[in-house]
Amino acid sequence: MADNQQTTALYRLQWRWHFYAGLVVMPMVLLLALTGAVFLFKPQIDHWQERHYRGLSVAGELSPDAQLQAALRAYPGATFHSYRLPEEPGDAAMLHLALPGGEMRDVFVSPQGRVLGSRDPETMISEVVQKLHGQLLLGHPGSWVVEIAASWAIVLILSGLYLWWPRGRGLAGVLYPRLGGKGRLFWRDLHAVGGFWVSGLALVLLFTGLPWAHAWGSAFKAVREELGWVKGAQDWTIGGTPVGDPHAEHDHAAMAASMAGMDHTAMNHAAMGHGGMAPIRLSEMVAKAKAEHLAFPVLVTPPGGPARFGRKGSADWTVRSDAANRPLRVSISYDAMTGKELRREGQANKHVIDRVLAYGIAWHEGQLLGWFNQLIGLLTAIVLVILPVSGFVMWRRRKPETTLGAPPLPPVRARIGGIAAVLVVLMVLLPLLTLSLFAVAMLDALVVQRVPRLARWLGTT
């Protein structure tokens, strides 16, 4: 009898954790699933947005130097930041410029040197979706909110798996929904079975997303530096801010800030071979870049451009692949005067942690295994949309009119042993989970328990 009471008490305790975590997390799960589903198709979306600049005639093709001159003539006083190689013959080159006022501009130039159009990179669909997904368009505060939601989503998944555990039941309602189930049984099976099948994939997405978050990513970076686990430049942002390279990850605000102190005239002349500063011209570097056959997009950056290889600024030419499939990324540095290769950084040069994260992030973004990865990511997102919808329906069907409808308190005090150990581990690994738990405890003690009517409505008494 005592064992049965303990089993019931532990089940109800987990149910309450799952319920309260769901109330907080589910709206964010919906947002993250929907925006994540869109971002999976970033290459296709970017390709569609650039459709007018592709498949052009190559007759009378001019050199990259001539294309650069055309872009600079169209934007007097602008600073040359990088040249993106055309993906296919006949595609326009994209030149990334910093305007005199600090704004960034992508300028598309045809093979014949005609400026076809330009855009503010911040307005790209994938850029907006990415910032909504990772920061809610709110910068660092938004990143903290997303991180809190991700931390509680991990609690939600683990408590959900505990509730799902078969406990002697058959496969129906466990591995597949009971056919013919109606009403609450249908919604319960949809929620429980879908949650089980998606749980592993969702945990991978959550943990591979944490290095981007502001608080977790900053702490992770500090620990790595303290333990000497850093080798080479980090190629992902923390809370939307690049690490070591203000131009990485297309953080255009950081680019503008860093470029404000540069000698723009010298930089442009260096890129074009004027004044004897850099005999190696853009056209020669583009030829070298083409010979490397790197994964698209391939960027050529002039001397005086972004910091690379952990150095504070670069006096060299840089050719790098910013491939969405991150394990394919390569950066090569060339001497500005001779064109001799100085450094090459790829996955083999990274610390093992960076290599693992590169694969994890590429999976997270749907680019590791091409269309198969995108399909799995899309199916995961669809199930993650179904879960809060089915959970909401179940809650509304059983919610009393006068209370929130939280699961009842356990009949006896539950012995949580192993669960407590898991919670401690999560609190150590997820700092914002710990802070939010303390905040909830303080709110309960100082506010909720002092207002009996509110406590009864929330189901905490």
The model's pLDDT over 119-149, given as tens digits with 9 standing for 90+, comes to: 999 999 999 999 999 999 999 999 999 999 9
Calpha distance 235→197 (Å, rounded):
32
Per-residue model confidence (pLDDT) at position 314: 63
Amino acid at 297: P
pLDDT band at 310 (very low <50, low <70, confident <90, very high): very low
DSSP state of 122: G
pLDDT band at 11 (very low <50, low <70, confident <90, very high): confident
User: Are the beta carbons of 444 and 438 closer than 8 angstroms?
Assistant: no
Per-residue model confidence (pLDDT) at position 198: 96
Containing 29, the helix (H) or strand (E) segment is helix 2-39
Mean pLDDT is lowest, of 38-52, 67-81, 261-275, for 261-275
Residue 300 tokens, joined: 């050529």
Give the tens place of pLDDT for each residue, 166-197: 887 778 888 988 877 788 889 999 999 999 99
Per-residue model confidence (pLDDT) at position 257: 42
Per-residue model confidence (pLDDT) at position 171: 84
Share of the chain above pLDDT 70, in %: 89
The mean pLDDT of 32-38, rounded to a whole number, is 97
Amino acid at 344: R
What would the DSSP string read from start to end of 284-321?
Answer: HHHHHHHHHTPPSSEEEE-TTS---TT-SS-SSEEEEE
Where exactly are the structural domains of the chain?
2-39+140-210+371-458, 44-125+243-349
User: What is the layout of strands, in order, in the sheet containing 104-109?
Assistant: 115-119, 104-109, 93-98, 79-84, 298-301, 317-321, 331-334, 341-345
> Does the pLDDT of residue 306 top 80, yes or no?
no
Residue 1 tokens, joined: 């009898």
Per-residue model confidence (pLDDT) at position 233: 75
pLDDT band at 243 (very low <50, low <70, confident <90, very high): low
Share of the chain above pLDDT 90, in %: 65
For 105, phi and psi rounded to 5 degrees?
Answer: -145, 135
Half-sphere exposure of 52 (CA within 13 A, CB side): 9
The mean pLDDT of 309-330, rounded to a whole number, is 81
pLDDT band at 266 (very low <50, low <70, confident <90, very high): very low
The mean pLDDT of 340-351, rounded to a whole number, is 91
> Does the pLDDT of residue 248 top 90, yes or no?
no
Per-residue model confidence (pLDDT) at position 54: 96
pTM equals: 0.86
Other Cβ atoms less than 10 A from the Cβ of 281: the count is 21
Scan for tokens 């009864």, then name that residue. 456
Per-residue model confidence (pLDDT) at position 10: 85
Radius of gyration for the chain, computed over Cα atoms and rounded to the nearest angstrom = 27
pLDDT band at 63 (very low <50, low <70, confident <90, very high): very high
Task: Kindly list the distances between the CA atom of residue 105 and the CA atoms of 101, 120, 124, 252, 271, in Å, as whole numbers in the listed order.
Answer: 11, 5, 11, 9, 17
Give the tens place of pLDDT for each residue, 211-231: 999 899 999 989 888 888 888
Give the tens place of pLDDT for each residue, 277-296: 446 899 999 999 999 999 99
